[in-house]
Amino acid sequence: MSTATDTAVPPPAPSVPPGIEVTAVHRSFGTVRALDGVDLVARAGAVTALVGPNGSGKTTLLLVLAGLLVPDGGQVRIAGHDPVTDGRAARAATGWMPDAFGTWDSLTAREVLLTFAAAYRLPRAVASERAAELLETVHLTEYADRPASVLSRGQKQRLGLARALVHRPDVLLLDEPASGLDPRSRVDLRVLLRDLAAAGTTVLVSSHVLSELDEMADDAVFLSGGRTVHPHELGGAADGAREWRVRALSLEALTTWLDSTGTPWRPDDAGGGDAPPGSGGVLLPVAGEVGAAQLLADAVRAGVPVTALAPAGGALERAYLTLEEERR
CB nearer Mg ion, residue 1 or residue 209: 209
* DSSP three-state, residue 41: strand
Binding residues for ligand ADP restricted to 44-73, rule: CB under 6 A: 52, 54-60
Left if phi > 0, otherwise alpha if psi is -120 to 50, otherwise beta: which for 48? beta
Q: Judged by CB under 6 A, how many residues of this single chain contact ligand ADP?
A: 11
We find the least distance from the C-beta atom of residue 193 to ligand ADP, in angstroms, to be 19
CB nearer ligand ADP, residue 56 or residue 250: 56
Task: Write the single-letter amino acid at 78.
Answer: I
CB nearer Mg ion, residue 59 or residue 201: 59
CB nearer Mg ion, residue 59 or residue 202: 59
Query: Distance from CA of residue 52 to its chain's centroid?
Result: 12
- Specify whether the CB–CB gap between 260 and 233 falls below 8 A: no
Q: Judged by CB under 5 A, how many residues of this single chain contact Mg ion?
A: 2
The 3-state DSSP composition of the chain as helix, strand, coil percent (nearest 5) reads 35, 25, 40
Give the DSSP per-residue string, 70-128: --SEEEEEETTB-TTTSHHHHHHHEEEE-SS--S-TTSBHHHHHHHHHHHTT--HHHHH
- Specify whether the CB–CB gap between 45 and 196 falls below 8 A: no
We find the least distance from the C-beta atom of residue 148 to ligand ADP, in angstroms, to be 24
Stretch 23-62: interaction string toward Mg ion, x if CB under 5 A: -----------------------------------xx---
CB nearer ligand ADP, residue 52 or residue 160: 52
Binding residues for ligand ADP restricted to 24-43, rule: CB under 6 A: 29, 32, 34
- Specify whether the CB–CB gap between 74 and 22 falls below 8 A: yes
Name the residues that contact Mg ion, by CB under 5 A. Answer: 58-59
Name the residues that contact ligand ADP, by CB under 6 A. Answer: 29, 32, 34, 52, 54-60
